[in-house]
Structure 1
Amino acid sequence: DAEAAGSPERGFPARSGDDQFIIYTGGTTGMPKGVMWRQEDLFFSGLGGGAPTGEPVKKPQELAERVAAGGDGITFFPTAPLMHGTSTLTAFIGFNFGQRVVIHRKFAPEEVLRTIEKEKVTSVSLVGDAMLRPLVDALSGPMKGTDCSSMFSVSSSGAIMSETVRRQFQALVPNVMLLNNFGSSESGFNGTATEDSGPERGFRIRVNSRTQVVDPTTHEPVAVGEVGRIAQCGHVPLGYYNDPGKTAETFFEQDGERWVLLGDMATVDEEGVVTVLGRGSQCINTGGEKVYPEEVEQALKSHPDVYDVLVAGVPDPKWGHHVAAVVQLRAGAVQPSLADIQTHCRSHLAGYKIPRQLVITDSIRRSPSGKADYRWARETAVAAVSAVSAADG
């Protein structure tokens, strides 16, 4: 109907690399913000130059040459809602590369697996354990035997696929390459996790040449082992829509080049591998030590009774804040005690990072795109402390 009612005339000027595309952030740490991308910058930073494999192109014309030279047979399946930047950009990569793109209305694990089998999907994108774990449950349960042999990659961006869940999926679909990609609405793609990423060594990524860990004040690269914030130069967004204050906080110029300063804290080693600690705004200060929720969540997800978890800081009269774990148990699991959880974590984490509070909940609250709702987790943990205090009083 919309097409029939529309004018056959063009109705807008010729396309340009300056045309804008706005991606809204997930609002994990506050209100969503509209990230204003120039099409040209998004093409190179967010779409990897439009090339899903191999070296990114240096100019758009090269993409047409690669498509003409071959590269057929790829079917992309962005399984998160298209409101999520990961899914939108996955679809755009497929369109730019002249390949099939499969989409669906809603993430339903069994339907996802049926679609993979029916459409011979080769490349799936999703958002962390919140989407990978239900696929594991379906493949080992009602969808056991589903033909997933066409798949060669499953990638996640926006949330981490934990080592535990990746291992479970790999056992069910052994020939699939699992990629923990790192990026954001403000930077596009920054890098991919190393094979040794996990609870013991942390979320380690090999970043592209435009990504560095910098001092958030001086914007200079940090020394090896020092904590800084991840930043990216080159093709970066123009800023936030109608928010000059946040734009000034996040985007800066250094040595004549434009940069974006992300919210993620990190360190870098001698080989240039970056260890992502987590978002600075979610960091828990307990007894003077800094704890990043994502690291604790990775350790907790390796517990056999834990299905999903979020970690938050709760005010504590002795420590300033203590680490609280809000846990959704596996179906049929016997509820573990706080002591059980602490014993499990001791083999993965330093003592000050171990949860001092355990809250069991029916389900973990996440956004429709799979992003964690840390505000809800904090409120849930604080309410549990208040309930215990009231009962004791």
Structure 2
Amino acid sequence: MSYPFGDRPRYLALAPLTHSAGVLTFPILSLGGEVVIMPAPDIGEFLASIERHRITHAFLPPTVVYGVLDHPDLDSRDLGSLRCLWYGAAPMSPTRLEEALHRIGPVLGQLFGQTEAPNMIATLAPADHFRPDGSVATERLTSAGRPTPLTTVAIMDAAGTLLPRGERGEIVVRGPLVMDGYHENPTATAEVSAFGWHHTGDIGYLDDAGFLFVVDRAKDMIITGGFNVYSAEVEQALSAHPAVKDSAVVGLPDAKWGERVTAAIELRAGHDTAGDDIIAFVKQRIGSVKAPKDIEIWNELPRSKVGKILKNEVRAKMLDMRTT
């Protein structure tokens, strides 16, 4: 209902089928489509397979999209068969998303959901990435899209009051995609279902046009010097730097600030820059309060099998380095 399919779609599965990539095979199969399963995650073979099998649909987490954009074969491959390249599972850099729209094509579509409400809380369809005149809707590239059919999305404060458009609070959901509850854990089920809504644990807002913007995970918000700093906003500013491939922003205990905004950075191949230069770059974009106080450059950030950066591991490693 939310995405372009047409006759006999052909879906290429690179990401693990145990997660979103597997869920997305269902609509493909229901339409009599074809699923091509890659035995190993190889970006060069992924691009070759799109051309070879005339693939119409695929799903990639943002980190793998970045790998596609950086791959030397991208511009030489024929990707004209693609109707929709879904991205999701983690926030995507708007700078790199705009690059993908130009280099891969006007086919990118976002999925926003979670295990408890799989994949389709909101979707940003390919057409929603563009304005009516055909230009890229840069003001919308950080949006998770519009609530899907049959799904109701609202913003709620801590007291259970639904908030008006534009105000930030927790994203709550109702609809048939929401789970019945956690297995043999009624306490957790009651907590996540408070006030008759499913609580996502994400902070966000709805704009006047009904587009949902996810600001951060509630647990990832940093309180520094009395100010709320959303790690996702800092990561988006970092991603705009030409040397930064990916980043993880966490709050570390600090005697002066309460929490100290700290970033672990993974650089793009062939780039070398000092942490102080990146901090200055971020300060110009979002101000000194939100900019990292410290930056560590790592060879590789820890990720899950679906490409999500594991912030708990980043934070644990940073704290461990402080005490050793």
Query: Which TM class, normalised by the smaller chain length?
Result: 0.7 to 0.9
1:229-272 deviation line (CA, Å, top 9, x unaligned): 11111212111122222211112463xxxx31111011233333
Which of the residues 157, 160, 182 maps onto 1:240?
Answer: 182
Q: Please give the TM-score of this superposition, normalised by the length of structure 1.
A: 0.73
- The aligned amino acid for 1:349 is I
- Counterpart CA distance in 2 for 1:240 and 1:125 is 27
Which of the residues 176, 186, 194 maps onto 2:106?
Answer: 176
Equivalent residue number for residue 51 of structure 2: 117
Kept in 2, the 8 Å contact 1:225–1:267? The answer is yes
1:183-223 deviation line (CA, Å, top 9, x unaligned): 111123122346487699854532235111122432x3113
Structure 1's unaligned 5+ residue stretches are: 1-47, 55-70, 388-393
Structure ID, larger Rg: 1
1:79 aligns with 2:14: yes
The percentage of counterpart residues that share the same residue type is: 29
1:1-20 equivalence runs, <5 A:
none
1:87-106 equivalence runs, <5 A:
87-106=21-40
- Counterpart CA distance in 2 for 1:245 and 1:273 is 32
1:88-142 deviation line (CA, Å, top 9, x unaligned): 21011111222112222232111111111111101111112x110111121xx15
Structure 2's unaligned 5+ residue stretches are: 130-135
Answer with 323-332 or 244-253: which moved more.
244-253
Equivalent residue number for residue 4 of structure 2: 53
- Counterpart CA distance in 2 for 1:298 and 1:79 is 25
1:61-76 equivalence runs, <5 A:
71-76=6-11
1:367 aligns with 2:304: yes
Q: Please give the TM-score of this superposition, normalised by the length of structure 2.
A: 0.87
Kept in 2, the 8 Å contact 1:326–1:377? The answer is yes
**SS of the residue 1:348 aligns to:** helix
- Counterpart CA distance in 2 for 1:328 and 1:52 is 33
Equivalent residue number for residue 133 of structure 2: none
- The aligned amino acid for 2:293 is R
- Counterpart CA distance in 2 for 1:104 and 1:228 is 40
Aligned residues: 311
1:287 aligns with 2:217: no
- Counterpart CA distance in 1 for 2:50 and 2:141 is 33
Kept in 1, the 8 Å contact 2:222–2:230? The answer is yes
Kept in 2, the 8 Å contact 1:211–1:230? The answer is yes
Q: CA deviation at 1:350?
A: 3.5
**SS of the residue 1:261 aligns to:** strand
**SS of the residue 1:304 aligns to:** coil
**SS of the residue 2:242 aligns to:** coil
Q: CA deviation at 1:279?
A: 0.7
1:270-321 deviation line (CA, Å, top 9, x unaligned): 3333321111011111111111221111111111111111111111110000
Equivalent residue number for residue 290 of structure 2: 353
Kept in 2, the 8 Å contact 1:199–1:295? The answer is no
- The aligned amino acid for 1:178 is L
**SS of the residue 1:308 aligns to:** strand
Q: CA deviation at 1:385?
A: 4.4
Q: CA deviation at 1:52?
A: 4.4
Which of the residues 141, 146, 151 maps onto 2:77?
Answer: 146
1:329-362 deviation line (CA, Å, top 9, x unaligned): 1222123232x11221134314311111100111
- Counterpart CA distance in 2 for 1:295 and 1:288 is 17
Equivalent residue number for residue 320 of structure 1: 258
Kept in 2, the 8 Å contact 1:214–1:231? The answer is yes
Equivalent residue number for residue 135 of structure 1: 68
- The aligned amino acid for 1:231 is V
- The aligned amino acid for 1:205 is G
1:28-43 equivalence runs, <5 A:
none
- Counterpart CA distance in 1 for 2:248 and 2:305 is 16
1:225 aligns with 2:170: no
- Counterpart CA distance in 1 for 2:74 and 2:165 is 47
